Amino acid sequence: MQAAAKFTVFDDGNCPFCQWAQAWVERRDREHRLEFRDFNRPEVAAETPFAPAELGRRMYVRAPDGGWHIGFFGWIAVLSALPRWRVLASGMRLAPLRWLGPLVYQFVADRRYQFPRLLLRWMGAPPPCDATCVLPRGN
């Protein structure tokens, strides 16, 4: 049986919220269809056609066919790769979510380092990291 092609997720490896999201996804990726790459590493950023400033604004997902899914639509691609979450991904493609989703995504992405602690805790994320702590990456 042939292995499924992988989606490559380019995310911010310095961001505690992004680390939490990656760990959440990796626990559900039983078919190992997703590979996470930290765009803060120059050799990883060079794998994309995007400028470093662009990479810092959104999550970028390269599909197995080479196409790119950005931000909210990147999350749809990620969830589509997880068998038990495909229905949610399909729902996210429908109006009004396909219009509102990018706005909510960008609001959170722009504030990911200052995200309210209470909301992060409610979502199961770790507390914000300071210079003395190291969060597990799962890689």
Q: Is residue 20 part of a domain?
A: yes
Output the average pLDDT for the chain: 86
Q: Is residue 81 part of a domain?
A: yes
Give the strands of the sheet with 34-38, arranged side by side.
Answer: 34-38, 7-11, 60-62, 68-70
Q: Is residue 25 part of a domain?
A: yes
Contact present, 136 and 126 (Cβ < 8 Å): no
CA distance 102 to 36: 21
Residues paired with 69 in a beta bridge: 61
Q: Is residue 111 part of a domain?
A: yes
pTM: 0.81
Q: Is residue 134 part of a domain?
A: no
pLDDT score for 112: 81
Range of the domain at 71: 7-123
What would the pLDDT profile of 119-134 be if each residue is shown by its tens digit? 666 666 655 555 555 5
H helix intervals, the chain: 16-28, 42-45, 52-55, 72-80, 86-92, 97-110, 117-123
Q: Is residue 13 part of a domain?
A: yes
Q: Which amino acid belongs to residue 59?
A: M
Q: Is residue 114 part of a domain?
A: yes
Tell me how many domains the chain contains.
Answer: 1
pLDDT score for 139: 39
Q: Is residue 131 part of a domain?
A: no
pLDDT score for 120: 60
What would the pLDDT profile of 70-112 be if each residue is shown by its tens digit? 999 999 999 999 999 999 999 999 999 999 999 999 998 888 8
Q: Which residues contact 37 (CB under 8 A, 6 or more apart)?
A: 8, 9, 10, 11, 44, 47
pLDDT score for 26: 96
